[in-house]
Amino acid sequence: MISLSACKEDVLLHEITAVELCEKISGNECDNNQDVFSVDTPIIYAAVSATVTQSTRITFIWRFIDADFEIDRASIEVADLSDGPGFQFAGSLSRPDNGWPAGTYEVRVEMQGGNSVAKSFEVR
């Protein structure tokens, strides 16, 4: 008697491969990856590189770690995959009216059906 068994490995349909933070962006790529920003920085961008094999939802979650406070949560749908599986996109967070409070922040990028990546940064 011969017995055969098989198991299916979990395969990510999507994968975030890089997250960079910056003050200036060209296309959907950071000009200069950084992890420290001034309290006067007008906009902080999160540029993301990913492998996407079918339509999915991407969520950006911005947090002020020192106060354990979620600043913003925004989602986008990635549907047009005509350029192939490599994909670049960006999210941003604008400076509050009174400037950024100094401290530690985090952006978490979550991909439905894929992984999530968190990137911490400082405002001084």
Number of domains in the chain: 1
pLDDT digits (tens, 9 = 90+) for 76-87: 887 755 565 677
The CATH number assigned to the domain holding 78 equals: 2.60.40.10
Residue-level pLDDT, tens digit, the chain, 124 residues: 443 333 334 455 678 999 999 999 998 889 999 999 999 999 999 999 988 877 888 999 999 999 999 999 999 887 755 565 677 889 999 999 989 999 999 999 999 888 999 999 999 9
Which run of H or of E encompasses 68? Answer: none
Does residue 7 fall inside a structural domain?
no
Residue 1 maps to a domain: no
Please give the pLDDT value at position 81. 54
- Judge whether 20 lies within some domain: yes
8 assigned to some structural domain: no
The verdict on pTM exceeding 0.85 is: no
Check: CB of residue 64 under 8 Å from CB of residue 101.
Answer: yes
Confirm whether 124 is domain-assigned.
no
pLDDT at 94: 96
The C-alpha atoms of residue 21 and residue 113 are separated, in whole angstroms, by: 24
- Range of 43's domain? 14-119
Give a yes or no: residue 5 inside a domain: no
